[in-house]
Amino acid sequence: MKQKPYFSNLKCRECGRLYPKEAIHICEFDFGPLEAAYDYEAIGKVLTRRVIESRPHSMWRYRELLPIDGEPTVGAQVGFTPLIRARRLAERLGVRELYIKNDTVNYPTLSFKDRVVSVALSRAKELGFTTVACASTGNLANSVAANAASAGLRSYVLIPADLEQGKVLGSLVYGTRVIGIHGAYDQVNRLCSEIAGKYGWGFVNVNLRPYYAEGSKTMGFEIAEQLGWKLPRHTVVCMASGSLLTKIHKAYHELEMLGLVDPSEISIHGAQATGCSPISAAMKRGTDMVKPEPKPDTIVKSLAIGTPADGYYAIHAMRETGGSCEDASDPEVIGGIRLLAETEGIFAETAGGVTVACAKKLIESGKLPRDESIVLCITGHGLKTQEAIIGKCGEPSLINPSLREFDALIANESPSASQP
């Protein structure tokens, strides 16, 4: 029996015009971004909590709400990362109910980008692409390279030439073609738009962007399910293009609409690195006009997008939900990485440091209330951005293999410094 098309069309976010489900991403009439549209009535008839819970623990348990026609063919194991109750971090931040959505352990490349790539490449195969590509600040490149390798697709990843070693090597190892561009991400992205038109490749975040973007919703679906089918009162999300934030908002809305969670008040808060904070700056100016940042200057390379494609929509998602936005300096980001590691045993990359540092500032300023539930979205693993904290977490104590030297070392340690 042929499956019903729950995913019905692409649709312009601005004028609502419908488009066929092809490798296109911009409305011809107003240049608005195209987004996946669904037959929610049909989905509502099949997608119950019980059905979802009976499925394997991956992001594909919400498959009716993802923009592919058949079964997923790439990344079937991606997602369903842990949501942990962060009691020790909560105590340090002075809040009552805090959770970490831990996408540092997403399969297979240790960032939330595996979610978007799994959808984009599954759709790319349905559309007949044999070569896929991306413009990336690092994590997307890693995920495209790995998932394309396991799917037998040819891949090209284009990145700013000055990325961290871990991100560069984490693409090269899969045998993908890695092209470093002398320039900032915005220039890489502009070049990719030209290449996509000329070479007919599937660019996951250019001509396949409507499919790619929907993958981010699964982070929101999982948070709600893992909280026992409840939405958190507050969600804090770090932003590069702003896409993840808008899609978590969309996910919560879809769950409410389908009756999978009870309607409840939610606020979505954004986090950026001060050295590239065009969305946060616009929020602080009280406008939705995002001024591009021509010269990003921050250790948080994964979030360094000067012209954020979804900035406008992210601002509206924050505003509509009564959320707020903050940005964190490089030293604050390092502090955030260390705080998360020391309290919860989670080693996040710089973007995770941004989320923790901005949440801390929002709590201190009263914009995140201390007595309401808060989820922090931690989106990538720290082993990929070691440069950011090398030399900033102390050094190992060096001794000879001698018990006497060990005794002397430990004798100098104050008892309060030892682990509880």
Ligand X SMILES: *Cc1c(COP(=O)(O)O)cnc(C)c1O
Positions that interact with ligand X (CB under 6 A): 111, 113, 139, 238-244, 302-303, 349, 351, 379-380
Euclidean distance between CA atoms 199 and 104, whole angstroms: 34
Rank residues 12 and 204 by Cβ distance to ligand X and give the closer one: 204
Rank residues 15 and 409 by Cβ distance to Zn ion and give the closer one: 15
Rank residues 12 and 184 by Cβ distance to Zn ion and give the closer one: 12
Euclidean distance between CA atoms 115 and 138, whole angstroms: 15
Interaction partner, residue 32 (ligand X, Zn ion, none; CB < 5-8 Å by kind):
Zn ion
Phi, psi of 277 (to 5 degrees): -130, 50
Euclidean distance between CA atoms 267 and 372, whole angstroms: 11
Contacts within 8 Å (CB) and 24+ apart, 362-371 = 362/236, 362/269, 362/324, 362/326, 363/93, 363/94, 363/95, 365/326, 367/269, 367/324, 367/326, 368/95, 368/234, 368/236, 368/269, 368/324, 369/234, 370/94, 370/95, 370/96, 371/95, 371/96, 371/97
User: Which tokens hold the place of 352?
Assistant: 């995770």
Interaction partner, residue 111 (Zn ion, ligand X, none; CB < 5-8 Å by kind):
ligand X
Euclidean distance between CA atoms 118 and 127, whole angstroms: 14
Interaction partner, residue 113 (Zn ion, ligand X, none; CB < 5-8 Å by kind):
ligand X
Q: How far is the CB of 250 from Zn ion (least distance, A)?
A: 18
Q: Which residues bind Zn ion (CB under 5 A)?
A: 12, 14-15, 17, 27, 29-30, 32
Rank residues 142 and 373 by Cβ distance to ligand X and give the closer one: 142
Rank residues 204 and 231 by Cβ distance to ligand X and give the closer one: 204
Rank residues 153 and 237 by Cβ distance to ligand X and give the closer one: 237
Q: How far is the CB of 280 from ligand X (least distance, A)?
A: 12
Interaction partner, residue 27 (ligand X, Zn ion, none; CB < 5-8 Å by kind):
Zn ion
Interaction partner, residue 318 (ligand X, Zn ion, none; CB < 5-8 Å by kind):
none
CA trace torsion 194, 197, 203, 208 (10° rounding): 130
Interaction partner, residue 14 (Zn ion, ligand X, none; CB < 5-8 Å by kind):
Zn ion
Q: How far is the CB of 380 from ligand X (least distance, A)?
A: 3
